[in-house]
Amino acid sequence: MTRPKRILFATDFSAASTPAFREAISMSLQNGAELLIAHAYELPVLGIPSAASADVYEEWDRRIREDAQARVRTLVEEAVREGVKASSLVL
């Protein structure tokens, strides 16, 4: 069987994702594969479109995205410490 070159680990940062992260690191080490750590964030849905100005909505987006990037970066750093080539993707 062909060994994977890349392994995708998608996270929601919940406690339930921790064992999956450990397994992704293990699989990456066993196969010499790069680990891509991904998170897809979503903005709050406003019931009334005019409830927040565009500037406020853009600020929410920026803050949520920056928080997600920081949290993914922490996981990348942990994987690298364990000897895995890792990168991040925040959508």
47-69 pLDDT, tens digit per residue, is 666 667 778 888 988 999 999 99
pLDDT recorded at residue 49: 63
Alpha carbon distance 28, 25 (integer Å): 5
pLDDT recorded at residue 65: 95
Residues in the chain with pLDDT values less than 70: 46-51
CB atoms within 10 A of CB 24: 24
pLDDT recorded at residue 1: 81
**What is the model's pTM?**
0.88
